[in-house]
Amino acid sequence: MIWVWVGIAVALVGAGALVPVLAGRDKRLSSNDEAVAARSRYHQLGHYVEDVEHLDDAQAAALMRTARERYHTAGATLARATSEEDFLLAMRVAEEGLSAVSEAYRRIGRTGPRIKKRKRHN
Amino acid sequence: MAGAGKWFGVPRWMVVAVGVAVLLAYGTFGRSVEQPAPVSAQVRTIVDGLRTTSVYEAPGAPGKIDAARARQLIGDRPIVLVLLGTEPLPPSDDEFTQPGQDLCEQIAAVVTTSLVIVYAIEKDGRYGPSYCVGPEFSNPQNPVDAGNYDFQLIARAEVAWQYRVTEADLFPQVEEFVFAFDEQAAQDYPNGVPRRAPVIPPPPTPDTLQTWQIILSLAGILVGTIALFVALRLVGRLVVRRGARDAETRHRSEATSARLNKLADRILHPPAPKDAADARRQADLAGEYVLVLGEFEAATTPAGLAGVNERLDELEEAAT
């Protein structure tokens, strides 16, 4: 019986020591805003690059190719993202792709995505 | 805040807590308290032997007194008889007190309502009796002059036994003491002689050594708990710090991977070379890229990734 009380006491001391420290571990993901924004940008970019038609303008085609590369990279980063910084990185990569799409569309006289100036976290 | 809340570099609440703990410990263990005198192992053994009978005969007793006859004679009178062996008793603290008398008083302190007779080897090597009166022999239920059962009783009994005892048979000493008791009790107790009270074993009392053992145990529990708390807190911080470092390394790796992908797109789709030198430069760039890719896959530390990023800066500038 005494060992039960000893075990309970050790558990309480351990909880008192570890909980305040370990509870602060996930503060990096306290908000889901970055994840939502990054996925939004990623899917927006996918809308432009998943079914690309043949473009006669070589520079526009090269820009669309770059946008596709950014799309795949953003997807890979999103798949492994666990922190706020990871999601911001994925969003930045997706925005680079959207910039390329916007430039390509401008060259062929279409209205492309509008890139809002965002306040960067890093 | 950090400076204002500290005394001697230690948080105030901790100083106050330690002070309170020291005061409580002193109040509990430091002050002297009245406690029953510790009972020796010898007295404890004798008293245990007297719980169901009026006579205790130690192993090795010389047999100068017939214990069975003495038991039958004393019956349930408030008298206990202790027959020790021939081993000399340890000297008493008081040099003027015979060891047997000292032991007798220790026994009387436990069997408080009885008269005690102890036979043992005295300083002069003689096997003889010591007599004493329990401190509560005279009590509110049976008030009596205890002095009548001390020297006077012994003197009366001694007169009677002096021509009856021999070197080998001391039983008449006991017998005459009992007769003298009966004579005195008949005068002092008109409503009936009190019977021997049951012997209550003395409670165990901690001695000084045990008290310090308790203090050390409590101090050990306190220090052990604090040490466990601090150790777990340090381990927790270590785990959290390592987790943060791993996350930072992982993020840096992802960022480097994104840069490599972007550079790969440029290297895989270079502009048409203007001349042979330009073609050679593009080929060299592709070769450098493959080397950096190998470094990236081998890099597992922040320093390794920083090196890869420096190489990437050069390659990106060359690819522009």
Per-residue pLDDT of chain B (320 residues; tens, 9 = 90+): 444 577 776 677 777 888 887 888 777 766 666 666 678 888 989 988 888 899 999 998 998 999 999 999 999 899 999 999 988 888 777 777 788 899 999 999 989 899 999 999 887 888 999 999 999 988 888 888 888 888 888 998 999 898 898 888 999 999 999 999 999 998 888 777 788 877 776 666 666 677 788 888 888 888 888 888 888 888 888 988 888 888 888 999 999 999 999 999 888 888 888 889 889 988 999 999 999 999 999 988 888 999 999 999 998 888 77
Cβ <8 Å between B247 and A77:
no
Whether the model pTM is above 0.95: no
ipTM for the predicted complex: 0.76
Please answer whether residues B269 and B319 qualify as being in contact, where contact means their C-beta atoms are separated by less than 8 angstroms: no
Cβ <8 Å between A69 and B251:
no
Distance (Å) from the alpha carbon of A74 to chain B's nearest alpha carbon: 8
Please answer whether residues B232 and A18 qualify as being in contact, where contact means their C-beta atoms are separated by less than 8 angstroms: yes
Please answer whether residues B133 and B146 qualify as being in contact, where contact means their C-beta atoms are separated by less than 8 angstroms: yes
Name the pLDDT band for A65 (thresholds 50, 70, 90). very high
Cβ <8 Å between B228 and A13:
yes
Distance (Å) from the alpha carbon of B233 to chain A's nearest alpha carbon: 5
CA distance B85 to B62: 6
Of B235, B251, B265, the CB nearest to A69: B265
CA distance A64 to A58: 10
Structural tokens at position B74:
């004393």
